[in-house]
Amino acid sequence: MNPKLDFIFTRRSIRRYEAKEVPEEILTDLLEAGMAAPSAVARDPWHFIVLRRRENLDRLAEILPHGKMLRQATAALVVCGDINRAHDKKESYLLQDLSAAVENILLAANASGLGSCWLGVHPRQERMEGIKKMFSLPEGIIPMCAIALGWPAERPEARTRFREECVHREQW
């Protein structure tokens, strides 16, 4: 692994956090990183719900079956998109734009010393409905995922999942 890319290889899903608050400045940095992502036709359809209150983190953990780490996290983001702002109002473009923003956020969190974990919401209807109800999302706003955030209480080893057999040069 190229050491210049350590910020990528050391980014891992963190599921255990210390009971230490994430400063507002770092959350702003993460949001700025997310909104620096590429977007089809520069439509920037993203919206982010910032969670810091324990009751909201715990409620979100109830909606997301694999989100138990939210009970330890001290912050989270719910990543949503406005289908009316997506290129051609296509869900596929919306999901690509939001995914690029999420990856920027995950890498920025790692570079800031935070741990993070991407928690899938879309396309699970029960998760989407739970989040729509919990946050009173307006019509046309689609929740895609949540991101647990906090100071890591674990440090998994850096890794890559590179497999040469998945690389096709010039043709399949």
Is 1 within 8 Å of 67 (Cβ atoms)? no
* 34 pLDDT tier (thresholds 50, 70, 90): very high
The tens digit of pLDDT for each residue in 102-136 reads 999 999 999 999 999 999 999 999 999 999 999 99
Token couple for 63:
């909606």
Report the pLDDT value the prediction gives residue 138, as an integer from 0 to 100. Answer: 98
The residues with which 118 forms a beta bridge, in sequence order, are 147
| Mean pLDDT, rounded, for 62-74 | 98
Q: Which residue has the tokens 């109002």?
A: 89
Is the whole model's pTM more than 0.95, yes or no? yes
Mean pLDDT of all residues in 24-48: 98
CATH architecture assigned to 10-153: 3-Layer(aba) Sandwich (3.40)
Which amino acid, residue 160? T
In angstroms, rounded to a whole number, what is the distance separating the alpha carbons of residues 120 and 40? 22
What ranges do the domains of the chain cover?
10-153
